[in-house]
Amino acid sequence: MVSTTPPSTASAQVGQLAPAGTGRRYWPTRQERKRTAMAMLFISPWIIGFLGFMVYPFYYLLRISFTSYSGFGDPLWIGLDNYQRMLDDAVFWTSVQNTLYYMALAVPIGIVMAMSLALCMNQELPEIPLYRVLIYLPSVLPLFAISLIAIAMLSPTTGIVNELFRTVGWNPPNWLGNPDYAKIAIVGLAQYGAGQTALIFLAGLKGIPIHLYEAAKLDGAGTWNRFWNVTLPLMTPILLFNLIIGISSGLQVFTQAYIMTKGGPANATLFYVFYLYRNAFQYGGQIGYGFAMGVVLFIVTFLLAGLVFYTSNRWVHYDLT
């Protein structure tokens, strides 16, 4: 059969899509190039922002981390001295220990509390919209304001928290002045934002088909069995998201300790980012050391997130409906 396709049309078709294995080079047509240019134009604000506010700052952070720099004059290249200094810095390891302690408590407690709030907000009650607003409201308040409120509430003499403990016959500690309780107080304060995470869980709960619960009831499953075998498996993608966000936020805890305890008492709340801040902006001439700590923080956060994603194949379930 003889083809009646004009040579110019046939060439354009060949230019658009060359058969596999022919060795011909792919040449986009003029219309495809125009569409690509238009797409790049639309996403150019994001590209410029990503390069200007993500890539370049990280490049600058990495470069300065190999120098001794005070913020004035030219940085002095010292190689890996800043990273070697971390290994010998006892305060650095104290900040690491404090941060891991905080993250190990605040993240799981926050997820459990947020899930519990979401289950409560998922009930069919007429006043539920009001409860949702009240639960979410603390998340809107600035963290520094919450920290100042917490200082007043945890006051050893006039704080409402200690007064409540005294009414039940327990002698409360000095929460912010005792190294054994200061981190616990900040972990408890972190739960003020559970309402925001609870709304994310609530959105996931609303997406679970009701017929799965009806089938479980017909099989004789009780409330706990329905949660464990229906709700929890279908919520694992949402759980994965909140876990990643929680780990990232836990490693960067700063404001509460800066306002409430200034890193004390006895460095009990000297968290990693707080110590980084002190080196980069409070201690003279140690910006390079602070930036090196920032690089390590980025690597640790990336590795932990990667580990969670790697293990998620074993416990995160998609498309079970």
Contact predicate 104/251, CB 8 Å: no
Q: What is the mean pLDDT of residues 90-115?
A: 95
- Collapsing DSSP to helix, strand or coil, 17 comes out as coil
Contact predicate 113/191, CB 8 Å: yes
- Collapsing DSSP to helix, strand or coil, 282 comes out as helix
Q: Facing residues of 68 across strands?
A: 76
Q: What's the pLDDT at 10?
A: 44
Cα 280 to Cα 136: distance, rounded to the nearest angstrom? 35
Q: What's the pLDDT at 12?
A: 44
More confident residue, 167 or 17: 167
Q: What's the pLDDT at 138?
A: 84
User: Rounded to 5 degrees, what angle do the CA atoms 300, 100, 278 make?
Assistant: 80
Residue the block writes with tokens 């995160």: 316
Q: What's the pLDDT at 126?
A: 82
> Using only C-alpha atoms, what is the Rg of the chain?
28
Q: What's the pLDDT at 135?
A: 86
Question: What confidence tier does 9 reach under pLDDT thresholds 50, 70, 90?
Answer: very low
Q: What's the pLDDT at 30?
A: 86
Residue type, 155: S
Choose which CATH entry (1.20.120.1200, 3.20.20.110, 1.10.3720.10, 3.30.870.10) describes domain 100-270. Answer: 1.10.3720.10
Q: What's the pLDDT at 306?
A: 94
Largest Cα–Cα separation, the chain: 100
- Tell me how far CA of residue 26 lies from CA of 17, 23, 29, 39, 104, in angstroms: 7, 9, 9, 20, 52
Does pLDDT of 206 surpass 80?
yes
Question: What confidence tier does 25 reach under pLDDT thresholds 50, 70, 90?
Answer: low
Question: What confidence tier does 289 reach under pLDDT thresholds 50, 70, 90?
Answer: very high
Residue type, 283: Y
Phi/psi for 76 (5° steps) reads -100, 120
Does pLDDT of 103 surpass 70?
yes
User: How many CB atoms neighbour CB 262 within 10 A?
Assistant: 12
- Collapsing DSSP to helix, strand or coil, 74 comes out as coil
